[in-house]
């Protein structure tokens, strides 16, 4: 009994929730979250393609769902996830070359990733509305 208790209550190393969020940490988490979200989001792309290949009627049905308000909100989120993951990925590719690692620069890059992803997302939707 006593032994089992000791095993059950032994201290664990601290995890995410005890740290104060900092930009590089938040972007790192968002990189994984956006990647995981798009893992399932790509289902929509595949569905859209299969719908188009299935004929006009099913394509119209698919488009009606994607262009509904909930559909558009999901697609807007998908666009942002894609842009954020792309910019975050470019950041990682730069780091792979050994550059831009120091504290101030990496924090600026983290902010640039966030601001850039929001900016590109808005730009894409303005273009989509204009086309």
Would you tell me which residues interact with another protein (CB under 8 A)? 32, 35-36, 38-39, 42-43, 45-46, 49-50, 52-53, 55-56, 59-60, 63, 66-67, 79, 82, 86, 89-90, 92-93, 96, 124, 127-128, 131
State in angstroms the smallest separation of the CB of 89 from another protein: 5
Residue placing its CB nearer to another protein in the complex, 26 or 50: 50
State in angstroms the smallest separation of the CB of 52 from another protein: 5
Q: Could you tell me which residues come within 8 angstroms of residue 16 by beta carbon, excluding any fewer than 6 positions away?
A: 29
For the chain, the first-to-last Cα distance in angstroms comes to 70
Structure tokens belonging to residue 66: 């994607």
State in angstroms the smallest separation of the CB of 2 from another protein: 26
Residue placing its CB nearer to another protein in the complex, 60 or 101: 60
Q: What are phi and psi of 37, to 5 degrees?
A: -65, -40
Residue placing its CB nearer to another protein in the complex, 42 or 73: 42
- Are 113 and 84 in contact by the 8 Å Cβ rule? The answer is yes
- Are 24 and 106 in contact by the 8 Å Cβ rule? The answer is yes
State in angstroms the smallest separation of the CB of 109 from another protein: 16
For residue 106, which of 14, 16, 26, 20 has the smallest C-alpha distance?
26
For residue 97, what is the DSSP state? Answer: T
Residue placing its CB nearer to another protein in the complex, 26 or 49: 49
């Amino acid at each position: 009994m006593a032994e089992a208790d000791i095993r059950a209550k032994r201290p664990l190393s601290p995890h995410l929730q005890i740290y104060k969020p900092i930009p590089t940490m938040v972007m790192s988490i968002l990189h994984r979250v956006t990647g995981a979200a798009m893992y399932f989001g790509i289902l929509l792309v595949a569905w859209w393609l299969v719908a188009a290949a299935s004929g006009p009627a099913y394509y119209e049905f698919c488009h009606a769902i994607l262009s509904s308000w909930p559909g558009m909100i999901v697609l807007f989120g998908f666009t942002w996830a894609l842009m954020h993951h792309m910019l975050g990925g470019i950041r990682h590719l730069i780091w792979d070359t050994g550059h831009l690692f120091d504290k101030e620069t990496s924090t600026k890059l983290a902010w640039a990733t966030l601001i850039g992803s929001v900016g590109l997302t808005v730009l894409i939707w303005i273009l989509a509305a204009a086309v």
